Amino acid sequence: MLKFIKGHLESIDGVATYPMISLLIFFIFFAILFWWVFTASKAHIKEVSKLPLED
């Protein structure tokens, strides 16, 4: 089964770019998330953390 998939993927031109694009999207998403966590105001974090406990 793996030989079939590997053989099929080798026949696609430029298939090596897809993992690089996926890695780039993954890295950008988590870099933005990391930036947001450290720049969010404490008041906003407290307000959002209390939402599940409200009626």
pLDDT of amino acid 14: 80
Report residue 38 as tokens. Answer: 């450290």
User: Rounded to whole angstroms, how far apart are CA atoms 55 and 47?
Assistant: 14
Burial 21-40 (b: 16+ CB within 10 A, else e): eeeeeeeeeeeeeeeeeeee
User: What's residue 19's pLDDT?
Assistant: 87
Tell me the C-alpha to C-alpha distance, in Å, between residue 8 and each of 2, 16, 35, 44, 50: 10, 13, 39, 50, 51
Q: How many CB atoms lie within 10 A of CB 19?
A: 9
pLDDT tens over the chain, length 55 residues = 677 777 777 787 887 888 899 999 999 999 999 999 999 999 998 998 888 887 6
- What is residue 1's predicted lDDT score, i.e. its pLDDT? 66
